[in-house]
Amino acid sequence: MSLFHLAWQNFMMHVRRYGALILSLAFTIFIFFNFENLEYSGSLGGLSADNLEKIKMLIDVVKVVLVCFMVSMIAYASHVFLKSQKKEFGVYVFLGLTSGRISILYMIENLMVGIVSILAGILCGTLFSYLFSMIFVKISSLGIAADFSISWRAVVETCLLFFLIYGLITLWGMRSIQKSSVKDLLSASRQNEKVNDSSRFLILKAIIGCAILFTGYYFAIKDGGMDVLGNAMIATVCVILGTYLIFGGFLPFLLQTMQNNKRFLLSHRRLLWVNNLVFRMKQNYRSYAMVSILLICAVTALGCGFTLNHRIEAIQQYSMQYDVQILSLDPNAEAYFNERLPEQEMRTIVPVAEKNEQLFVPYSSVSSFDISEPKENECILLSKRILLSLYTDPTHNSTELEGRKLTCIEDVRTAVLGFMQDKMEVPVYVINDSLFDQVFPQNERLYLYNYKFEGDEPNIEISTEDPMVVGIFQMDENNDSYVWLNTIFTFCVFLFIVFLIAACSILFIKQYNDSFEEIEAYRLLQKIGVDRKVLKHSIIMECSFQFGLDFLIMCISSYFSLMALSKVAGDPLGSVFVISNLIILLFMILCDLICIKAVKNTLLSKRIA
C-alpha cells in the first residue's frame, strides 16, 4: 500500500474528527477571501478614490488580524490532532515504517485537510461574494450598488497565504514526529496530564492570577489622561496573564479538591466527569484560557464597533445639525436674516466671545443640550470631531480667563455648535452666564445665528460680502469624505463573529478529539454494568462545565473591557455588554449541545453486551 493510499484511508477514517477544524478554517478563509475580493475586484467601484483608499487600508488591518488568528488556530488544532495520531504512528513503526516516511504520511494527510479547507472556503466565498458585498455595503451605509466581480488575485493570494501558514506548521509537526521515540509515540495520546503541583502552590498561583487580573481591571477603568493608551496596554497584558494563571491555578485546585472529597465525588454521579477533567487538566486549562481570551476579544471587538459607530454618527451630526450658521457683530440681526432666508424649522442665537485664542459661549445659549451647568470657576470643552480620544480625564482641558483658573468638568464630544464647533481652529468653552457677562461686554461679542430649513436644498441669498456677516458656514449635502468611517462597524461585527466561532471551535475540537481516546474506557464501563444514563450524564456535565466556565470568566473580564471603552469613548456600553453576552451565550449553548451529541455518538454508539 502506498503512503498516499494510507493517508487517504486515515483521512476518511478521521474525517469526523477533522470536521470542526475544516469548518472553522473554511469560515476564516471565506471571510479573508471576501475581504481580499472587496479590495481587488472593483466591487466598491462606486466610491470616491479617497474613501476607497481608506476602506482598503481598513481591510488590510482586518486581514492582519485574521492572519494572526489563522496562525494560532492552525497551530493549536495541529498540535491537538498530532498528539492523538502519535499512537497510530507508533504502530506504523512496528510495521516497518521509518520516522521519515511516517512524517511524509502526516504531511500528506495534513495536506488533504488543507486542500479541503481551502476549496470549501474559496468555493463558498465565490458563491456568496455578491451577497457578502451587498451585506457589507448595506451595513456600512455606503450608498452604492455592489458589483458582482471575482478577482483572481484575491484567489491566488488567499491560497498562497493559507498554504504558507499551513505548510510551516505542518513542517513543525513533521519535525516533532522525527524527534519522537517509539515510546513517546505510543504513549502521547494517553499521557496523564494531571497537574501534580501541591495545593499550596496552586492557591498561590490563583492568588497571583487574581491580583494580576484585578490590576488589569484597575488600569482598564482608570482615568489615565495622557497615559490612557499605556494603561490600556498594561490592562491587556494583565488580563491575559491573569486569566492564564487563574485557569492554571484555581481550576486545578478546585477540581482536585472536588476529586479528594469522596462524599461530594460519589453523589450525583460526579465521579467520572470530574476525574476526566482532572486527568487532562494540564492541556485543558491552556485551552480554557485561550478560549476565554478569544471571547473577551470578541466582546471588545463588538464594543469597539458600537462605540465607533456612535462616534461616527456624532461626527456626521456636526454637518447635519444646522443648514446654515452665520457669524455677525449685530445682536439684533435676526429679523434681517429671516427676511433673506427660506422658511425655517429652527433658529437659535448663541453669543460668542474670543480671549487669548480661545472662544467662550454662555451656558444659557446651549442649555437645551445634555450638558451640566458650570460654576463660575468651571468650564466645559466643546470638542471637535474625533473617533476616540486618548484622554479620559477632562481636567487636562482646564484653562484661564482673565487670570482666573477654570477647571474643565466635562469634555462634550457631540455637536453643540454645529460647523463652528468643528471648523474653528481654537478651543471652544462653555462658561457660566454671570462670568461671561462679567468678562465680555457687548462690543466684544460675536453672535452665531443657527438655522435649520424645511426644504431639502435651500436657496441662500446671504454671503460674506454682506456687511452684517462676519462668517458663514453652510452644509454640503454632497460631502462624502467620511463615508469610509461607516465600514468600521461592519469590520468589528465580522471580527466578533470570527472570534466567537474560533473560541467555540477550539472547545469542540478539544473535547471531541479527546472523546476518541475514551472509547475503550466507556466500553469497559458498559461491560461492567454502568448505566448508560450515568455515562450520558457524565458526558453532559464534562462538556457543559468547560463551556460554562469560559463563559463565566469572559463575562467578568468583558464587563471591565467595555467599561474601559466607555471611558475612552464617553458613551455608556451597558446595552452592548448585555447584547454581546446574550449572543455568545446562545451560540455557546448551541455548540455545547452539538458537542454533547457528537461525543455521545462517539462513546455510546454501540451497546456493549
User: What are the pLDDT digits (tens) for 97-111?
Assistant: 777 777 888 888 888
Cα(376)–Cα(404) distance, integer angstroms: 10
d(CA 369, CA 337): 24
Q: Which H/E stretch holds residue 347?
A: strand 344-355
User: Cell numbers of 264, please?
Assistant: 461530594
Residue 585 scores a pLDDT above 90: yes
Q: Which residues contact 127 (CB under 8 A, 6 or more apart)?
A: none
DSSP states of 401-439: ETTEEEEEEEEE-S-SSTHHHHH-SS-EEEE-HHHHHHH
Among 54-63, 373-382, 418-427, 547-556, the range scoring the smallest mean pLDDT is 418-427
pLDDT of residue 584: 92
DSSP 23: H
With 60 as the cut, is the pLDDT of residue 535 above it? yes
Q: Give pLDDT, residue 194.
A: 57
Q: What band does 608 get if pLDDT is binned at 50, 70 and 90?
A: very low
- pLDDT tier at 590 (50, 70, 90 boundaries)? very high
Q: What is the pLDDT of residue 186?
A: 54
Phi-psi region of 570 (alpha: psi -120 to 50; beta: other; left: phi over 0): left
> Would you tell me how many other CB atoms lie within 10 Å of the CB of residue 28?
23
Q: How far is CA 48 from CA 36, 132, 137, 146, in A?
A: 19, 21, 14, 14
Average pLDDT, the chain: 80
Bridge-based pairing of strands 324-328 and 378-382 is: unpaired
User: Please, which residues have CB within 8 angstroms of residue 375's CB and are 6 or more apart in sequence?
Assistant: 432
Decide: helix, strand or coil at residue 165.
helix
Residue 92 CB-half CA count within 13 A? 23
Predicted pLDDT at 607: 46
> What is the tens place of the pLDDT at every residue in 321-357?
788 888 888 888 888 887 777 777 667 889 999 888 8
Specify the higher pLDDT residue, 112 or 87. Answer: 112
> Max Cα separation, the chain?
103
For residue 545, what is its C-alpha cell? 462545565
How far, in Å, CA of 302 to CA of 551, rounded? 16
Tell me which of 282 and 535 has the higher pLDDT: 535
Distances (CA, A) of 334 to 327, 348, 371, 441, 443: 11, 9, 26, 20, 17
Amino acid identity, position 66: L
Q: Residue 555 is which amino acid?
A: C
Measure the CA–CA gap between 319 and 420, rounded to whole angstroms: 10
What pLDDT does residue 514 have? 78
The residues with which 328 forms a beta bridge, in sequence order, are: 447
Please, are residues 376 and 435 in contact by the beta-carbon 8 Å criterion?
yes
Whether 520 shows a pLDDT value over 90: the answer reads no
* Residues 6+ positions from 219 with CB-CB distance below 8 Å: 231, 232, 234, 235, 238
Is the CB of residue 93 less than 8 Å from the CB of residue 58?
no
How do residues 112-135 score in pLDDT, each as one tens digit? 888 998 999 999 988 888 888 888
> Cα separations (Å) of 293 from 240, 517, 549?
7, 27, 13
Mean pLDDT of 180-200: 60
